[in-house]
Homo-oligomer: A and B are copies of this chain.
Amino acid sequence: MEDVTNMYISPLPDSPYVKPFRFNYTQNGKAKSWDLLEVHDSVAIVVFNITRKRMIFVKQFRPAIYYNCISLEDRRANKIDEKKYPASLGIALEMCAGIIDKNKSIEEIAREEVLEECGYEVKVSNLEKILSYRSGVGVEGAKQHFFYCEVTDDMKTAQGGGVDDEIIDVVEKTIPEIEEMLKSQETLASPPSCLFALMWFLHHKADKFRQ
């Protein structure tokens, strides 16, 4: 995963992934505009293995995080110095998640993501809806639907790790390890949705899995 080389920045071509545009409006009589992106709705799933009492995370190299670890000056270089900035800086710890880009139910897409990314075969009926919110308020405002799912070792039928070109590691953490992580003095390489999920789990579910 950390074998990442030959990194450089180039202008955005016509991109299928990032589609920026300007939203124009008049508020209280004053003309305004806001620049934003077209993005997909998504699902995310808090997967907890009750056999071994461990939270299941996914880990992958995230260019957006890596890029933000590079000094403003070094970002302008022709090529990023991978000795000075090892790829490990960009490895994020996240909840299992995926975009809604198929004509299937949200629950079915969540079920498939748990299998593809984490390797657990769950039923739609195993999914407990937590809530839905907006993925952001600045440039992205798509819906994200959050589910909770308890799994057992028996349900692990595949290795996980994603599909196609995805390079994803499945990582487990105990409840004390999660609590330790949330006390970190360093900037966590995780997004707020993951931290919400962990706090939700600690508040509503963790006690029944403690000794």
Question: A residues engaging B (CB < 8 A)?
Answer: 1, 3-13, 15, 17-18, 20-32, 34-37, 39, 41, 61-68, 90, 92, 94, 131-144, 165, 167, 182-184, 186-193, 195-196, 199-200, 202-203
Contact = CB atoms under 8 A, between A and B. Distances in A.
A18 B141 contact: no
A94 B167 CA distance: 34
How many copies of this chain? 2
Contacts of A200: 199
Contacts of A39: 68, 138
A143 B196 contact: no
A41 to B, nearest CB: 8
Of A62, A94, A184, most B-chain CB atoms within 10 Å = A62
> Closest 9 CB pairs between A and B?
A64-B141, A199-B199, A65-B141, A18-B35, A34-B63, A192-B193, A196-B196, A132-B187, A192-B192
B12 A21 contact: yes
Contacts of A184: 131
Contact of A15 (B13, B20, B90): B20
Given A141-B62, A192-B193, A25 B5 contact: yes
B203 A199 contact: yes
